[in-house]
Amino acid sequence: MANGHSPVEVTLGDTLIIHAHNSLDEPTSLHSHGLFQNGTNYYDGAAMVTECSIPPNGTFTYRIPMVQAGTYWIHSHYKAQTSDGLRTALIVRDPNDYYKYDEDVILPMSDWFREPANTIIKQFSSPDPNVRYKPMIPYGIIGGECLNAKVIKFVKNKTYRLRLLNIGASFEFHFSIDDHELRIIEVDGVPVKEKPTKGVMLAAGQRVSVLVRSKETADNNYLFHADMFTDLFTMPKYNPLNFTGVLEYAPKASLKREVNGGWKITSDLDLEPLDEEALMDPTMQVTLDAYSGVFDDQSFRHSFNNVTFILPEVPTLLTALSTGDNANKREVYGRQSNTYVLNMGDVVEITLNNHDYYTHPFHLHGHVFQILARDAPVKRDTFILRGGHYAVLRFRANNPGAWLFHCHIEYHAIRGLELTFGLKENCIAQGIKASGNAIGRDGMDLEDTEADSDDDDDNDH
């Protein structure tokens, strides 16, 4: 929530200006999840990758052109502050949207724990499995309310766009409405050909828009379901956690219940993008093996190719901008940043092997990737990979900068399941600003002073 207001709603073509003042007792940063930030990599908000964190009592101004319509969200990208609630939906509307509907309903879903995130991190880092898997019970929240108390109001004979977002830190949600068909039209900001389904699944970080046609009469109310799957943790006796709310046509209408016989999850491979972009031919191949285990420091960590990610002392982007030709060498970024240097225009094929029994929803900053298995595959920025399985993704490296690729289960990312893709094309020539304080004691000043308005002069960066 920002200034008591959530979600953030803008229109395609706007410039979103976020004056972020850090009132916390630790640093912070804000990431606009799903926005490419093409030409504005320094506003991506990945702390110590694209910029320094905002120090306590510091202020930073993000200026982000809204060039992508769709369903996104803003969240902290520092430690586990997202888990503690530093997050909100971001909706970018297109007045000329391909799909037509009468009303827009925003439904951000999340998990929430009584325990502070730092306490949970310590538990998950324990080398003792009896401590690490000590049962914890999460709560389900939708639109800032307890899921079991949520009411969605419908009027008969209308078409609604439900924007479903999983802005939680860990668990996936399965969403459905009794006796109503959902028609998928967007995933992760990417328009897709209409796909009827009974329900949708959202891993942490994912977004799905569905069209729902209301009934011709208002005789009945119905239940909607947002079931939280908690196989990430050891839960006491019940899994999943079944949350229900009311889809209300009339306050006094009778509740019509549907016997839930289960429904088939619509796979990403069943979806087709509207633009029908053909499968790209790869020019670079990267194999990533995801593992977890107790490392030499007696801490439970995650890794890609046996490298557990640790934030660099200087932001990766600033290293790339200040080391000349050495920016083309992986070694200059430090081994623990796990940086892969790409050529501008490369089509990168990632083969992901999940050796864990954990599920990992992997998210790529600054790009969308194709999920292989068809000639015109769907594109997303967040993809779920089950334990013991593999997947093949492709993306075109056409966005200069330093971009994280990581598991979006916050506690997995913090414990090392991250890496960086950096384009070695001269970023300055591509319009990336290079001024700033790499040490970051007081944050960074990346403002274009000629473009600043007078009321921003007192910003403490």
CATH assignment at residue 188: 2.60.40.420
* pLDDT band of 446, cuts 50, 70, 90: very low
pLDDT at 424: 65
Please indicate, yes or no, if residue 275 is contained in any of the structural domains.
Answer: no
**CA 256/CA 220 separation, integer angstroms:** 6
Same domain flag for 150 and 250 = yes
Residue 65 lies in a domain: no
pLDDT band at 433 (very low <50, low <70, confident <90, very high): low
Query: Do 373 and 320 sit in the same domain of this protein?
Result: yes
Q: What angle do CA 274, 286, 276 make, to 5 degrees?
A: 10
- Select, from the ranges 269-273, 328-332, 350-354, the one with the highest average predicted confidence (pLDDT): 350-354
Residue 266's pLDDT is: 85
How many domains are contained in the chain?
Answer: 2
Over 90: is that where the pLDDT of 354 sits?
yes
**Mean pLDDT along residues 414-440:** 63
**Residue 182 confidence (pLDDT):** 97
Together in a domain, 299 and 399: yes
Does 246 map to a domain?
yes
With b meaning 16 or more CB within 10 Å and e meaning fewer, what string describes 9-19? ebebeeebebe
Evaluate if residue 185 carries a pLDDT over 90: yes
Q: What is the pLDDT of residues 397-412, one digit of tens each?
A: 999 999 999 999 888 9
Q: Is 141 among the domain residues?
A: yes
Do 177 and 223 lie in one domain? The reply is yes
- What is the reported pLDDT for 457? 36
Residue 204 and residue 334 share a domain: no
Residues 246 and 297 in one domain: no
Q: Is there a single domain that holds both residue 317 and residue 196?
A: no
**Which residue range is the domain that position 367 belongs to?**
284-430
Alpha-carbon span 199 to 262, nearest angstrom: 9
Same domain, 259 and 306: no
pLDDT at 331 over 60: yes
Above pLDDT 70, what percent of the chain?
85
Counting every residue written for the chain, the total comes to 461
Same structural domain for residues 242 and 108?
yes
Stretch 193-211: mean pLDDT: 96
Flag whether pLDDT at 387 surpasses 60.
Answer: yes
Domain boundary among 266, 294, 329: 266
Specify whether the CB–CB gap between 372 and 278 falls below 8 A: no
| Closest alpha carbon to 344 in 440, 448, 422, 287 | 422
Same structural domain, 302 and 205: no
Residue 172 resides in a domain: yes
- Please report the pLDDT score of residue 166 as a whole number: 97
Q: Is residue 53 part of a domain?
A: no
If asked whether residues 242 and 299 sit together in one domain, one would say no
* 436 has pLDDT over 60: no
pLDDT in tens, 64-80: 999 999 999 999 999 99
Among 138-142, 236-240, 258-262, which range has the highest average pLDDT?
Answer: 138-142
Domain annotation covers residue 383: yes
Q: What is the pLDDT of residue 458?
A: 36
Per-residue pLDDT band for 461 (boundaries 50, 70, 90) equals: very low
pTM of the model: 0.88
212 domain residue, yes or no: yes
In this structure, are 295 and 226 located in the same domain? no
